[in-house]
A and B are shown apart, each in its own frame.
Chain A
Amino acid sequence: MKVRVDFVTNSSTTSFVIITTGDFKRDEFFELMGVSEQSPWLPLFDALYYSLQEKMYPVEEYVNRYGTATGNWFESLQNKFADEVFERIVEAQRTGRKVFVGKLSSDSNLIESFFCVDSFEVENGKIYFNALECVW
């Protein structure tokens, strides 16, 4: 849960970062989140997977879409994310891993809205998924 002690509006967005060794695959996402094909929770994480798929962009494209026009997309990201996350992005780019960035919105469906206001960071050997950056 994110808590903000300031003026709070009714909607929020959470920027997320996904770093993968290859494509962002459904079965690998389930493995990351801890859901098996037999789990009753699968449809919920399926809905999250498709929300992420729909809203994520390769990092350069994301910055071109939403970043401020500073010219350097690395600089835009540095301003947007915590240092540790930015360093991960840089390292991933250097080692040829894929970096995707996007936003979940609380104005969307109830499932996306729930994950938008939740706060988490998970990773395994294949995927790093960070949903800590909340913008109210």
Chain B
Amino acid sequence: MILELDSRLIVVFDRRYSLSEFRLASRVAPGSYADELVDRIHDCLFKYPRDVYSEYEKYYAIEYPDFAEFLYWKYRVNKNVARKIKDRIVNGAYVGYGRDSIGMFGDETFASVLKRILSELGEKDESTS
């Protein structure tokens, strides 16, 4: 799941996928422009975002006993979506927050590309939005 909040980004996946497995599933030629793009997309989704749940546990758990409430008040995530994210945390999902979106995540074609890659990586919830 990718939520674009203006130029900020909340990403929710089963886990943080490594660059090597993301690259492997992408099947692009090493050293090519597409390879470089794959690196950048990976960094944007899995490398640079900070771990929101760790942040919550470390600094905010007392102030916000409920993780979904925290997502709503701190990141302005819609309450229904916040509850879904909270449900996924039970299974150890990775919730990341990034400041820089690449501006292409809302595109249907891009969403289908990412969905296919994540599916190959075994992601259970492949929704990208």
Contact = CB atoms under 8 A, between A and B. Distances in A.
B26 A39 contact: yes
A109 interface: yes
Interface in B36-84: 37-38
A36 B33 contact: no
A109 B107 contact: yes
A5 interface: no
Interface stretch (A41-49, A74-82, A83-91): A41-49
Interface string B1-44: 00000000000000000000000011111111111011000000
Given A34-B29, A111-B109, A111-B110, A39 B103 contact: no
Interface in B72-108: 102-104, 106-107
B32 A33 contact: yes
A131 to B, nearest CB: 10
Contacts of A45: 34
Contacts of B27: 36, 38-41
B28 A43 contact: no
Contacts of B37: 41
Given A41-B38, A45-B34, A114-B104, A36 B28 contact: yes
Nearest to A47: B109
A60 to B, nearest CB: 28
Interface of A: 32-36, 38-41, 43-45, 47, 109-111, 113-114, 117, 120, 122
Interface of B: 25-35, 37-38, 102-104, 106-107, 109-110, 112-113, 116-117, 120
20 contacts: A32-B33, A33-B32, A34-B29, A34-B30, A34-B31, A34-B32, A34-B34, A35-B29, A35-B34, A36-B27, A36-B29, A38-B27, A39-B26, A41-B27, A41-B113, A43-B113, A110-B104, A110-B106, A111-B110, A122-B32
Nearest 6 pairs of A and B residues by beta carbon: A34-B32, A34-B29, A110-B107, A34-B34, A40-B116, A39-B27
